[in-house]
Amino acid sequence: MNAKLQTPIDYLKGVGPNRAALLRSELGIHTYQDLINLFPNRYIDKTNYYKINQLQRNGADVQIIGVITGFKDVGEGRAKRLVATFKDDTGILELVWFRGHKWIRDSITPGTKYVIFGKTNWFNGVFSMPHPEMEALEEHEKNLRSAMQPIYPSTEKLANKGISNRVLNKIMQQLFLETHGRFEETLSPRLISELKLIDKSKALFNIHFPENSELLAQAQFRLKFEELFYIQLQLIIKNLIHKSKIKGYNFEHVGAHFNTFFQEHLPFQLTNAQKRVLKEIRADFGSNAQMNRLLQGDVGSGKTIVALMSMLMALDNGFQACLMAPTEILSVQHYHGLQELLNKLNISVALLTGSTKTSERRKIHESLENGELDILIGTHALLEDKVKFKNLGLAVIDEQHRFGVAQRSKLWHKNTSPPHILIMTATPIPRTLAMSVYGDLDVSVIDELPPGRKDIKTVHRYDKNRLKVFGFIRDEIKKGRQIYIVYPLIQESEKMDYKDLMDGYESISREFPLPTYQISIVHGQMKPADKDFEMQRFVKGETQIMVATTVIEVGVNVPNASVMIIESAERFGLSQLHQLRGRVGRGAEQSYCILMTSHKLSEDSKTRLQTMVSTNDGFEIAEVDLRLRGPGDLMGTQQSGVLNLKIADVIKDKDILQHARYYAKAILKADPSLSAPENVVLRYTYAQLSKYKNIWNYIS
């Protein structure tokens, strides 16, 4: 890596301390290297020069040569603007500035020929151009320029301080002059020839000053591939180091617990997907390395059975197991579910949450340490220092995105050796994102539903159809079914949400009066005990309708509930809608999800609703969600730094990402330490990236 590229940006001619401070704070540019990696957002074709009489009323970007003949001030106070008359040999155009008047008057010489560039507006019979880019024709002709003009990322603050796109362009030219446009190659000769890539210097030149659109496309492909390749290299190396350094317990045999459960107590036939995943887990258990596996599967695909059978393997080898869930409701549900499955086997299971009584806690702590307790289920309470296992062999973590990295590492330290880790999620992660974000984990997918499960029918209804929807609810209740009605909860407007919920509850109570109908209500303002009481009434079938905010999103299991009505569905994200829908369809009966909205819908909302109506496939939904929201949002704040990519885009460039992962895997398989002569450049670049923090060190 060119040592010059680590020079602080302050030293580049034309930058200086003030501009450097702004570039640092606004765009994160500290060094020459950061500047060279400031890639344009888009390009404008500046091959054409228009005459004023050729302008169309279409608000397009145009470039014109002419002179300024005079200035005038128009308007008063905040609305004051500076207007200049600009003319060429075919007509006149007004140039308008809303700020920076003094600086503009001082820096422009009337009568001199300028090249102006910007969007035109048509008003009162005259064309105008607000805040044009301007350059003296003489300068314009001297500059290092290309037909495709790069437009760089910017911020309002930079624009207000006079660091315009033109200034960024000039600074970039200066950088190429100082480095002579020569940059060290960062990919191996084999990759360059196999993928027919252009070299690094040519790619960087053509990304900033494209000679033509073909070279620009080649430069983009080369730089996107490189960025994704090094991310994949890092993730795969991390996985290999993990497997070679972190020894895991070897579970050598499958014994009585597993076999008895499998042969005598399995409530249904395993699907092929479940069998495949169990095979993958067994292979990990016998590999001498610590398992670090992500298990993805849609709501209701049977992840819990796979987790339980994995725990039984741990027990068969003389180890304990634990299952950690993000909420008390969910851990209680796991506890009851597993108790029911294990009641005929001689296995001790306990539940530990924030509301476990002190005397009960003591008992759990004791039996855990002396090995009498086989499986512990609970919330964050499992992480407390007092909780000590005799020998924890497997930790299952449900919905891990709710747990921070620090919390997970606490589980590791409960043993002399780290336990095997199985992470379960019902939030399907698109393949592209799984490859980038969880690339250091092994990923298993359960992609088929247990037999006998029917797809949930989803429809979109407007508020005006409400009476028909109420009629449908009555019919379902007559058949003995139960109904969820969910209202949005958006933290910032809790008061408004609470009012919506209460208004809804009142109108539903009027439509479904006592004593014929019983209604439960659950929301965030209630005490946990009251919440549990209402939940339990619904679970036992004492109430037919549950009116709730999204507290029921994860894991409430009521097989008799067959209708999910989501109010103001346009206010929910796709993954949330999909999670909520997964609360029904857990029994053998046909289930329904009704999305209620007003008539006013944004384009994104329409796309979300159409996606829900057209598919039940969580992975398809996640792909659309990724397109709509982008990777940062999808992963939540703690991992949004993950994909802080400079040029690649995991959604649009997923083919390049798959290529990059394929090559990274193949190279590391043949040469894990990158010590072969042909990989020297990869090893060196990788070390430099790690050293200069340009590699995206993420994920636990």
Distance, in Å, from the CA atom of 583 to the CA atom of 561, rounded to the nearest integer, reads: 8
The predicted structure's pLDDT at residue 262: 94
The predicted structure's pLDDT at residue 402: 55
The predicted structure's pLDDT at residue 699: 30
336 within 8 A of 350, measured Cβ to Cβ: no
Write the DSSP symbol of residue 643: G
Radius of gyration in angstroms for the set of CA atoms belonging to the chain, rounded to a whole number: 31
Token pair recorded at residue 450? 């247990």
Query: What is the per-residue pLDDT across 504-524, written as a single tens digit (0 to 9) for each?
Result: 899 999 999 999 999 999 887
Q: Is the pLDDT of residue 553 over 50?
A: no
Q: Is the pLDDT of residue 2 over 70?
A: no
Per the listing, tokens 């014929």 go with 516
Q: Which domains does the chain have, with CATH numbers?
A: 47-144 (2.40.50.140), 256-285+301-425 (3.40.50.300), 457-615 (3.40.50.300)
Task: State the CB neighbour count (10 A cutoff) for residue 400.
Answer: 23
Q: pLDDT-derived band of residue 562, with 50, 70 and 90 as boundaries?
A: very high
**Chain length of the chain:** 700
The predicted structure's pLDDT at residue 664: 95
Query: What is the per-residue pLDDT across 401-455, written as a single tens digit (0 to 9) for each?
Result: 555 556 666 776 777 778 999 999 877 777 777 777 677 788 898 988 777 778 8
Mean pLDDT of the region 99-123: 90
Query: What is the per-residue pLDDT across 212-270, written as a single tens digit (0 to 9) for each?
Result: 888 999 999 999 999 999 989 988 898 888 888 888 899 989 999 999 999 999 988 89
Distance, in Å, from the CA atom of 435 to the CA atom of 276, rounded to the nearest integer, reads: 20
The predicted structure's pLDDT at residue 636: 43
Least confidently predicted of 34-48, 506-520, 549-563: 549-563
Sequential DSSP letters for 650-674: TTTTHHHHHHHHHHHHHHHHH-TT-
Write the DSSP symbol of residue 112: S
580 within 8 A of 553, measured Cβ to Cβ: yes
The predicted structure's pLDDT at residue 635: 45
Query: What is the per-residue pLDDT across 623-639, written as a single tens digit (0 to 9) for each?
Result: 888 888 766 554 443 34
Which carries the bigger pLDDT value, residue 397 or residue 78? 397
The predicted structure's pLDDT at residue 520: 92
The predicted structure's pLDDT at residue 144: 61
Report CA 332 to chain centroid distance, whole Å.
29
Task: State the CB neighbour count (10 A cutoff) for residue 355.
Answer: 13
Q: pLDDT-derived band of residue 26, with 50, 70 and 90 as boundaries?
A: very high
88 within 8 A of 52, measured Cβ to Cβ: yes
428 within 8 A of 622, measured Cβ to Cβ: yes
The predicted structure's pLDDT at residue 575: 83
Q: Compute the mean pLDDT over every residue in the chain, rounded to the nearest whole number.
A: 87
Mean pLDDT of the region 203-209: 95
Question: Quick one: residue 287, left, alpha or beta (phi over 0 = left, psi -120 to 50 = alpha)?
Answer: alpha
Query: What is the per-residue pLDDT across 161-182, written as a single tens digit (0 to 9) for each?
Result: 989 998 999 999 999 999 999 9
Alpha helices in 547-617 (DSSP H): 574-581, 603-614
300-334 exposure pattern, b = at least 16 Cβ within 10 A, e = fewer? bbbbbbbbbbbbbbbbbbebbbbbbbbbbbbbbbb
Instruction: Identify the helix (H) or strand (E) that includes residue 521.
Output: strand 519-522
Distance, in Å, from the CA atom of 532 to the CA atom of 548, rounded to the nearest integer, reads: 13
189 within 8 A of 60, measured Cβ to Cβ: no
Could you give the dihedral angle defined by the CA atoms of residues 594, 596, 599 and 603, in that order, rounded to the nearest 10 degrees? -70
CA distances from 82 to 76, 95, 96, 107, 124 (A): 11, 8, 6, 14, 17
Query: What is the per-residue pLDDT across 641-659, written as a single tens digit (0 to 9) for each?
Result: 345 688 988 777 888 998 9
Both ends of the chain: CA-CA distance in Å?
A: 28
Token pair recorded at residue 20? 């450097």
155-159, 234-238, 375-379, range with greatest mean pLDDT: 375-379
The predicted structure's pLDDT at residue 403: 56
Q: Is the pLDDT of residue 375 over 50?
A: yes
Q: pLDDT-derived band of residue 585, with 50, 70 and 90 as boundaries?
A: confident
- Burial class (CB within 10 angstroms; exposed 0-12, middle 13-18, buried 19+) of 91: middle
Distance, in Å, from the CA atom of 185 to the CA atom of 680, rounded to the nearest integer, reads: 11
31 within 8 A of 9, measured Cβ to Cβ: yes
Token pair recorded at residue 575? 């993954």
Report CA 392 to chain centroid distance, whole Å.
32
Angle between helices 574-581 and 618-635 (to 10 degrees): 130
**Residue 300 pairs with which residues in a beta bridge?**
none
The predicted structure's pLDDT at residue 333: 85
Mean pLDDT of the region 374-389: 91
